[in-house]
């Protein structure tokens, strides 16, 4: 991180943005201790740490309400969207007061800014998540699902790896020798669809299938 800042930037970096678990990248978990060390270096250079929680927020990972909490690091800003609106078009940013208050209101007024309907829907959605303890549900159901997927990986060589936490899980489809198998992933996705199960497809090689990728994890 220090080498990147010193050799590929002017040294005045605005922010470092990262997902606690990479979403479209293939549901890849961050190695233990990564964010702690990165935050130390960012603080040396006065660089903000922004946690992209579009996919990991609102208890989806089961163990924590915000995905970044699992690392024990407090980010300067958190971005959120899908889990906030549960289908309604809305996004938000939350952060330290000195950062948020430094932005003039005149800089972020737009036609597609916040509106009463999306705001009311988001509030109702958050209340539902909290009142029904959906974070615990994600932890329990996700734990059961991951256990079953791991057993599947033991029996079928096409499952190269099972990744993720809570209800943010994915399996990697591989071919002989463990190489990524995008065509096989496409066939797997179609086979699931025919059986009434909708899964997504992601990863650098488009061979990872995220499970339960709806806007939120409501039953």
pLDDT digits (tens, 9 = 90+) for 144-173: 999 999 999 999 999 999 999 999 999 999
Domain residue extents for the chain: 2-131, 134-211
Q: pLDDT at position 213, please?
A: 40
The CATH number assigned to the domain with range 134-211 reads 3.90.1150.10
The CATH topology of domain 2-131 is 3.40.640
Query: Taking 80 as the threshold, does the pLDDT of residue 217 lie above it?
Result: no
User: What average pLDDT does range 177-200 have in this prediction?
Assistant: 91
CA distances from 39 to 57, 73, 119 (A): 20, 8, 32
Q: What does pLDDT average to over the chain? A: 90
Instruction: Give residue for tokens 């971005």.
Output: 79
Q: CA-CA distance, 139 to 189, in Å (whole number)?
A: 25
Q: CA-CA distance, 27 to 149, in Å (whole number)?
A: 14
Q: Do domains 2-131 and 134-211 have the same CATH topology?
A: no
Q: Give the bridge partners for 17, in sequence order.
A: 50
Query: Taking 80 as the threshold, does the pLDDT of residue 218 lie above it?
Result: no
pLDDT digits (tens, 9 = 90+) for 49-103: 999 999 999 999 999 999 999 999 999 999 999 999 999 999 999 999 999 988 8
Comparing CA positions, the residue from 50, 106, 42 lying closest to residue 80 is 50
């Amino acid at each position: 991180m220090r080498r990147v800042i010193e050799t590929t930037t002017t040294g005045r970096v605005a922010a470092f943005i990262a997902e606690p678990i990479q979403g479209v990248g293939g549901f890849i978990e961050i190695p233990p201790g990564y964010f702690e060390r990165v935050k130390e270096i960012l603080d040396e250079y006065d660089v903000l740490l922004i946690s992209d929680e579009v996919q990991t927020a609102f208890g989806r990972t089961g163990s924590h309400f915000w995905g970044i909490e699992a690392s024990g690091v407090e980010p300067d800003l958190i971005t959120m969207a899908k889990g906030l609106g549960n289908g309604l078009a809305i996004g938000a940013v939350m952060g330290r007061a000195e950062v948020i208050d430094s932005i003039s209101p005149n800089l972020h007024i737009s036609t597609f800014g916040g509106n009463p309907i999306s705001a009311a829907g988001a509030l109702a959605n958050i209340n539902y998540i909290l009142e029904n303890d959906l974070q615990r549900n994600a932890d329990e159901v996700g734990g059961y699902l991951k256990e079953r997927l791991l057993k599947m990986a033991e029996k079928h060589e096409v499952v190269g790896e099972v990744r993720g936490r809570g209800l943010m899980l994915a399996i990697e489809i591989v071919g002989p020798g463990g190489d990524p198998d995008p065509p096989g992933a496409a066939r797997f996705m179609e086979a699931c669809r025919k059986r009434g199960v909708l899964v997504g497809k992601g990863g650098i090689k488009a061979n990872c299938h995220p499970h339960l990728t709806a806007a939120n994890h409501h039953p």
